[in-house]
A = this chain, B = another copy of it.
Amino acid sequence: MNNNPTNVILGGKEYDTFTEPPAQMELERAKTQFKVRDVTNFLTGSEQETLLTERIMREIERDPVLNVAGDYDADLPTKRRQAVERIGALARYLPKDSEKEAILRGQLHGIVDMGTRTRIAVHYGLFMGAIRGSGTKEQYDYWVAKGAATLHKFYGCFAMTELGHGSNVAGLETTATLDKDTDEFIINTPNSGATKWWIGGAAHSATHTACLARLIVDGKDYGVKIFIVQLRDLNSHSLLNGIAIGDIGKKMGRDAIDNGWIQFTDVRIPRQNMLMRYDRVSRDGEVTTSELAQLTYGALLSGRVTMIAESHLLSARFLTIALRYACIRRQFGAVPDKPETKLIDYPYHQRRLLPLLAYTYAMKMGADEAQQQYNSSFGALLKLNPVKDAEKFAVATADLKALFASSAGMKAFTTWAAAKIIDECRQACGGHGYSGYNGFGQAYADWVVQCTWEGDNNVLCLSMGRSLIQSCIAMRKKKGHVGKSVEYLQRRDELQNARVDNKPLTDPAVLITAWEKVACEAINRATDSFIKLTQEGLSPDQAFEELSQQRFECARIHTRKHLITSFYARISKAKARVKPHLTVLANLFAVWSIEEDSGLFLREGCFEPAEMDEITALVDELCCEAREQVIGFTDAFNLSDFFINAPIGRFDGDAYKHYMDEVKAANNPRNTHAPYYETKLRPFLFRPDEDEEICDLDE
């Protein structure tokens, strides 16, 4: 007998609020019409890639030191200390990993511990990356022999940003002045504003830094180069003379990494410590520079590429949590005395999360593409000799430059999207999203710095917008080779005449055309404005400045178009049996994006105003379709409970039980009095009233 109107009967058994979730999850999971493994392999690329990922995940998950239990309650000192233990554990794997394995290991570990990930990535990614990318072969070998590759006695950091200078590397003020007499550089911080700031690893760990400083020879400023500077004595770990370092302390997130500030006071380093792959300074002070020196920032580019992949992974984690929770959580209901409705069955809840699920799938395609482009161009570059292999070198350089532009928008919009997804998923879990133990708060605080570092997202978008306009001009003049990703700009006439409003909006070809049309038009229109402004007498820089909003929009629309077309391109190569399911997601992403940008599509005359209602109806419809297999789509992300790290998002759906268990494990209910009860609370509650007497003046 059903005693409680909120109780639910499933398969003849009665469940209450607390016991229903796992049974409900089974039912939801059973709706999946595809083989989850097929979709996982679609996402990773192949069964082989899936197995590799699973092997590394297992290694992380089973390692006692990397276990994240208790992390949500850890304070800054604990996180800092623990990070060193974890780096120790990871350092045992890294020398044996292939480059691909190392990248994957870092990205996967980063899903649950972004702080430690950064702390190790600063050494391997930034410091070693700088030496590998900007040092000569001899320099690389020298520092590896010193212990840099294995972290023996040696720990590197990357001193780029200054207190008063961030994204504009060219504006850094720290100086490296050649002293020809001693064959040394003198590294100096000219004023407090030039204090190196935010330097990860500097506060506690680093023995050396790759320091970005202005090369000064005979009073002439040659701009910013990279110099290896020792910071601490290798044996005592004490600061060397002329080095002042302090801890930056509390941050919004990523407390596991010891960011610090550094001031240099006439610190002398051998001339050989300048990284000289491209720019060189000889014994007698002759400076030879190379146009290729800009490749020096290749070390940063790999970070940017990996951030696209991380955007996908973090989004996958939190969407899995929010969508699983939506399948077991009930709230409100249209019929009195009947069980409440499951969140996932509310059209508005579907609209909040399912387009973001589709977006997350699309991100993976973008991430893979960028990684592959990086591997082929930067990998080639390092193997080639600029003089002997001049031709191949030029191609690789051009490819890398193209990647610089295209990855800018991808980095910006995927990191923003991941931040939005973490936040929207948190809100979709209501109050329980605010619990520390479901991970949203920690992840958001850790995540969002991705929108700022290695190129502030807004700056990246403006610079990408500039490059799109420049590509458009080059194309009109038929000058030089433009990247594949902007070739559609050449089809302006064709796209302008393309009709999409009379065609089915579930046909990928129609959706691709619609997006190409608006992106092409937006960029061409911005280009027209640019040409007009320069003809009116503005310098190119002034004209670009005037067109800031338009440049941003160009980057935004182009990147969205790119993600949509990449998603369809990958689906076209997928197994036939998963194609229809994936196409639902891709269509949802493309159509929802049109609805979101209705102003753009109305403006280009793609649709009549009244047709926007049909688009809204189509989004609703696609959401309904995607909703049916939502557990399958999230299971396909293949993140185990360890990587989910949120009791309300567990695989078995037993959300309330796991959640209550975790809260009790972290906060022993036998502690019934506040730790400060005797010292603070009791004295307050039992404070005596103060007498309010007034002295009686005998007047």
Contacts of A239 in B (CB 8 A): 672
Partner of A251, one of B434, B552, B620, B675: B434
- CB-CB contacts of A502-530 with B at 8 A, as 1s and 0s? 00000000000000000000000000000
Measured CA separation A346–B542 after assembly (Å): 11
Given A332-B168, A598-B603, A681-B84, answer yes or no on A673-B237 (Cβ-Cβ < 8 Å): yes
Measured CA separation A250–B78 after assembly (Å): 15
Complex contact B549–A87 (CB within 8 A): no
A4 to chain B minimum Cβ distance, whole angstroms, is 6
Given A17-B173, A682-B237, answer yes or no on A435-B251 (Cβ-Cβ < 8 Å): yes
Q: Is A585 on the interface with B (CB-CB < 8 A)?
A: no
Given A18-B192, A192-B656, answer yes or no on A685-B152 (Cβ-Cβ < 8 Å): yes
Q: Is A75 on the interface with B (CB-CB < 8 A)?
A: yes
Complex contact A168–B663 (CB within 8 A): no
Contacts of A686 in B (CB 8 A): 152-153
Given A75-B75, A192-B656, A603-B609, answer yes or no on A248-B435 (Cβ-Cβ < 8 Å): yes
A5, A16, A76, A597 interface centre (most CB from chain B within 10 Å): A16
Identical chains bound together, number: 2
Measured CA separation A600–B599 after assembly (Å): 7
A428 to chain B minimum Cβ distance, whole angstroms, is 8
Q: Is A77 on the interface with B (CB-CB < 8 A)?
A: yes
Q: Is A143 on the interface with B (CB-CB < 8 A)?
A: no
Complex contact A674–B205 (CB within 8 A): yes
Complex contact A663–B261 (CB within 8 A): yes
Q: Is A570 on the interface with B (CB-CB < 8 A)?
A: no
Q: Is A548 on the interface with B (CB-CB < 8 A)?
A: yes
Q: Is A389 on the interface with B (CB-CB < 8 A)?
A: no
Contacts of A238 in B (CB 8 A): 672-673
Q: Is A470 on the interface with B (CB-CB < 8 A)?
A: no
Q: Is A59 on the interface with B (CB-CB < 8 A)?
A: no
Measured CA separation A682–B155 after assembly (Å): 11
Residues of A331-368 at the interface with B, using a CB-CB cut-off of 8 Å, are: 331-334, 340, 346-348, 351-352
Q: Is A478 on the interface with B (CB-CB < 8 A)?
A: no
Complex contact A548–B171 (CB within 8 A): no
Nearest residue, chain B, Cβ from A16: B191
Instruction: State how many residues of chain A have any CB contact under 8 Å with chain B.
Output: 145
Complex contact B245–A669 (CB within 8 A): yes
Complex contact B599–A164 (CB within 8 A): no
Contacts of A16 in B (CB 8 A): 190-191, 193
Given A246-B664, A436-B251, A672-B245, answer yes or no on A431-B17 (Cβ-Cβ < 8 Å): no
Contacts of A679 in B (CB 8 A): 81
Complex contact B246–A549 (CB within 8 A): no
Q: Is A6 on the interface with B (CB-CB < 8 A)?
A: yes
Contacts of A451 in B (CB 8 A): 427
Given A173-B4, A251-B435, A431-B453, answer yes or no on A685-B153 (Cβ-Cβ < 8 Å): yes
Q: Is A64 on the interface with B (CB-CB < 8 A)?
A: no
Nearest residue, chain B, Cβ from A550: B616
Q: Is A296 on the interface with B (CB-CB < 8 A)?
A: no
Measured CA separation A672–B682 after assembly (Å): 41
Complex contact B612–A167 (CB within 8 A): no
A-B contact pairs, 10 of them (CB 8 A): A18-B164, A18-B194, A84-B680, A168-B340, A171-B333, A250-B666, A253-B434, A348-B458, A427-B458, A430-B456
* Given A75-B76, A598-B600, 10 extra CB contacts under 8 A: A6-B171, A6-B173, A18-B164, A18-B193, A73-B249, A252-B442, A334-B541, A427-B451, A599-B599, A599-B612
